[in-house]
Amino acid sequence: MATSERKKREYAQRETLIIDTARDLLLKIGYIDLNMERIAELTEYSKGTIYQHFSCKEEILVEMLIQSAQKCGTFLIRGSQFKGTPRERVAAMILGYDLFVRLNPDHFKSKLLLQNESIRGKASPVFQKNLEKAEQENIGLVYGVLREAVESGHVQLQRGVTIEEITFGLWTGTFGAYVLMFSEVNLKALGISDPRKAVWANIHALLDGFGWHPFFQELNWEQTRNRILNEIFSQESHLAGIV
């Protein structure tokens, strides 16, 4: 069945086209004004065809986020492979995440929207499950490095704290910061001129606070940061313009 293979390919291509179009449109006109009619126009397909792929705009957003979460995963994996201590590898993952977010501004736009159950709930359950799975896999990558850190004795878990909870701290500290950065909260007016610098300081204070060796003071982090960017994310850091 050579033809049916081609059909499948064409279907997948069209899906990509729809998502890419929706992504552009989302960044350009925002969620409220985003509509299926316009997506149909721009893709040069009819509304009916668009609805054959996605049941509503929210479902397109979910699929968009699934794809970007998977892409995000590749950045996390690359970060985790940095040659260094577990703490440096976690730092590399966080830097990778930052680069990913910089290069994929649509990620947080759709993420923020779908954080709302009413909006996410419009997508069909299959899509929602897939999204949950994609995001859990990414968290799993962080767990992996933390587990190694505990096993190698770089961190001693104290007072019943679990690696899941430490990950939660890293997660909320970075994710929360991006939510704020991406929502036009006036951080400048609040004295936060460089939120990324603040995140970096906070993440390291957190890890220091959990007694994770080597402590912030014990390492030249400026150097480590440059090594991470050069060795792992050379191309991306140039693309993002952080040299």
Report which of 76, 66, 107, 68 is spatially closest to residue 170, judged by C-alpha positions: 76
- Using the contact rule CB under 7 A, the part of the chain among 31-39, 67-75, 151-159, 172-180 near DNA is 31-39
Helix (H, G, I), strand (E, B) or coil at 115: coil
What does 178-217 look like in DSSP terms, one character per residue? Answer: HHHHTTT--TGGGT-S-HHHHHHHHHHHHHHHTTPSSPGG
Site string for DNA, 115-154 (x = CB under 7 A): -------x--------------------------------
| Cβ-based neighbours of 141, under 8 Å, separated by 6 or more | 73, 76, 77, 80, 93
Number of chain residues interacting with DNA (CB under 7 A): 24
- Of positions 31, 45, 168, 182, contacts DNA by CB under 7 A: 45
Site string for DNA, 49-68 (x = CB under 7 A): x-xx--xxx-----------
DSSP assigned state of 116: S
DSSP assigned state of 232: T
Minimum Å gap between C-beta 116 and its own copies is: 5
Nearer to its own copies, 163 or 232 (CB): 163
| C-alpha distances in Å from residue 53, one per residue of 11, 57, 65, 117, 156 | 9, 11, 16, 22, 49
Report residue 79 as tokens.
């970060």
DSSP assigned state of 174: H
Is residue 219 a contact point for DNA (CB under 7 A)?
A: no
Minimum Å gap between C-beta 133 and DNA is: 24
Report residue 99 as tokens.
């680069």
Site string for DNA, 1-30 (x = CB under 7 A): x-xx-xx--x---x----------------
Q: Which residue type sits at 194?
A: D
Nearer to DNA, 29 or 185 (CB): 29
Binding site for its own copies (CB under 8 A): 29-33, 109, 112-113, 115-122, 132, 135-136, 139, 143, 159, 161-162, 164-166, 168-169, 171-177, 179-180, 182-187, 189-192, 195, 197-199, 201-202, 204-210, 216
- Of positions 12, 13, 27, 35, contacts DNA by CB under 7 A: 35
